[in-house]
Amino acid sequence: MTQAYVPPKVWTMESENGGQWASINRPDSGSRFEQVLPIGQHPIQLYSMGTPNGQKVTILLEELLALGIHQAEYDAFLIKIGDGEQFGSGFVEVNPNSKIPALMDRSLASPIRVFESGNILLYLAEKFGHFLPQALPERTEVMNWLFWLQGSAPYLGGGFGHFYAYAPEKFAYPINRFAMEAKRQLDVLDKQLAKQTYIAGEEYTIADVAIWPWYGNLVLGNAYNAAEFLDVQSYQHVQRWAKTIAERPAVQRGRIVNRTWGEAWEQLAERHNAQDIDRVLAQQPK
């Protein structure tokens, strides 16, 4: 057995821990350098990256545009979180928590900043009046699942994904703990989706938009190289739901925005108009 770790009386940061994201992590917040964020021509300015949290917002924006809502036109600028761009003064003004995604709504006389991806989904759904039912019981069920996702995904990403895919070494204790939790969460979703087409009922809502980039990508084998390890095939209702959503044109468009890895046809660093996405998707092999 390796020597047990004995915590010191007071924790201090002694060195980088070597994990994939180690160089950007520090125990303090706030801006680290001066930065002016670019502003494009559209009312909505998004500063993001094509991680699951980023995909939530670009998928919803593309869904709104697919409904013909031109006011949802947006510029999506890439924030390279691996290079620490979220710690620039401009980004910190939009999100003091230094995490993507962050959005500025410049359609108003006094622009509004919106951060936290779940809140951005809620803001856009309310602003444009789509993907969130108005009646209290149905709306509450959507919010139940939106909050569920915001509370649960950190165990999948920061817990399971971190220790299984990104940590400098494989440690049994956290991998066992978070694999169990990830599978428990998948079972929650599977039981819910056994009863109905979408997460919150028969209607596709922002709850699905929030959950798919995390748990949909996971069961489709697009996250952490963990499909076999977590036996994702066994969650048949989540599989059915994930595939149905993956077929939506707006999902296929939104998932590639601010993404700079994967196949060439899934990478679009910045989006300023619909043709930017069309051009990339046209490279997809038939």
Ligand X SMILES: N[C@@H](CCC(=O)N[C@@H](CS)C(=O)NCC(=O)O)C(=O)O
- Site membership for ligand X, residue 53 (CB under 6 A): yes
Binding residues for ligand X, how many (CB under 6 A)? Answer: 12
Stretch that binds ligand X, among 39-47, 93-101, 161-169, 189-197 (CB under 6 A): 93-101
Which of the stretches 62-70, 92-100, 125-133, 228-236 binds ligand X when contact is defined by CB under 6 A? 92-100
Please report how close the Cβ of residue 151 comes to ligand X at its closest, in angstroms.
10
Is 27 in contact with 13 (CB distance < 8 Å)? yes
**Using the rule CB under 6 A, is 51 a contact of ligand X?**
yes
Stretch that binds ligand X, among 97-105, 138-146, 159-167, 235-243 (CB under 6 A): 97-105
As measured in angstroms, the least distance from the Cβ of 24 to ligand X is 5
Judged by beta carbon, residue 150 or residue 260, the one nearer ligand X is 150
Shortest approach of ligand X to residue 260 CB, angstroms?
13
Which range of residues in 5-13, 115-123, 171-179, 222-230 is near ligand X by CB under 6 A? 115-123
Indicate whether 86 belongs to the interface with ligand X (CB under 6 A). Answer: yes
State the residues that interact with ligand X by CB under 6 A: 24, 51, 53, 81, 86, 98-100, 116-118, 150
